[in-house]
């Protein structure tokens, strides 16, 4: 209920774009995270670096799925994959809303990829282990896929819960309803939580809910809903614990 009212407020207000002290890219003293008891991590391109190019494989399979499901050629399918990602949050959300595509076979098919491009990261594992409190993964992929990624990165068994799009009734981040469903399910109190994400769109609602937001990406972005940026998640976590 608490989360629902917060999300509703975020949706109808201008909080996401409201002028405020620009704390973007400020340094990262430990004190900014001393209140955090729940640590929420995105998966793709957050818990593994983009240069491992795992998501490229998924995009190829998404395009193939769109070709087959909508009976379009590769160029049109490639366009629609990106178009739905931009307008609906994910390609799947666009396929479901505009074409009533069944999510289960789609998720199985697009995530049937080669995980050997990922390497274990014991340093990241120890940095996450050192965080005090509850640690969860929340991805727009599905949870079985997330478990495969975590295993390939040597991060399995580390998180208290792993949530996929199926846990949000197939509503994707950045939708407020998706965060609301997952955070309510887990009991996340946003004002005591931090969110780590590579997609800046997915930090807007968390910021509006009162979470501390960390953009994990090569290049920083000056956006008011991003509290911190890092290109090196392990070093960042070590600096705040």
Q: Which is nearer to Mg ion, 44 or 175 (CB)?
A: 44
Nearest distance in Å: CB 187, Mg ion:
23
- Using CB positions, name the residue nearest to Mg ion: 44
Shortest distance, position 216 Cβ to Mg ion, whole Å: 8
Please tell me whether residue 100 adopts helix, strand or coil conformation.
coil
Beta carbon nearer to Mg ion, 44 or 180: 44
Least Cβ distance, residue 151 to Mg ion (angstroms): 18
Q: How far is the CB of 139 from Mg ion (least distance, A)?
A: 7
Quote the CA–CA distance of 167 and 181 in Å, as a whole number. Answer: 8
What whole-number distance in Å separates Cα of residue 204 and Cα of residue 10? 9
The footprint of Mg ion (CB under 5 A) covers 42, 44-45, 198
For Mg ion, the closer of residues 38 and 202 by Cβ is 202
Does residue 212 sit in helix, strand or coil?
Answer: strand
Closer to Mg ion by Cβ: residue 44 or 121: 44
Q: How far is CA 44 from CA 50, 107, 211, 237, in A?
A: 8, 15, 20, 18
| DSSP letters spanning 48-85 | S-GGG-HHHHHHHHHHHHHHHHHT--HHHHHHHHHHHH
């Amino acid at each position: 209920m608490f989360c629902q009212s917060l999300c509703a407020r975020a949706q109808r207000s201008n909080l996401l774009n409201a002028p405020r002290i620009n704390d973007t890219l400020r340094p990262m003293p430990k004190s900014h995270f001393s209140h955090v008891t729940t640590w929420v991590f995105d998966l793709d391109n957050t818990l593994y670096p983009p240069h491992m190019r795992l998501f490229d494989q998924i995009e190829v399979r998404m395009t193939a799925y769109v070709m087959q499901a909508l009976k379009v050629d590769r160029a049109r399918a490639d366009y629609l994959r990106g178009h739905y990602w931009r307008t609906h949050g994910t390609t799947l959300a666009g396929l479901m809303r505009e074409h009533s595509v069944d999510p289960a076979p789609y998720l199985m098919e697009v995530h049937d990829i080669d995980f050997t491009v990922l390497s274990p990261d014991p340093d990241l594992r120890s940095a996450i282990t050192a965080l005090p409190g509850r640690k969860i993964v929340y991805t727009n992929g599905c949870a079985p896929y997330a478990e495969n990624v975590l295993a390939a990165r040597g991060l399995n068994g580390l998180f208290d819960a792993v949530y996929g799009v199926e846990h949000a009734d197939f509503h994707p981040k950045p939708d407020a309803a998706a965060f609301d469903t997952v955070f309510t399910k887990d009991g996340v109190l946003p004002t005591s939580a931090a969110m780590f994400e590579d997609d800046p769109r997915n930090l807007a609602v968390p910021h509006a809910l009162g979470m501390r937001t960390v953009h994990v990406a090569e290049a920083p972005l000056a956006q008011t809903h991003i509290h911190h940026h890092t290109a090196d998640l392990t070093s960042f976590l070590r600096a705040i614990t």
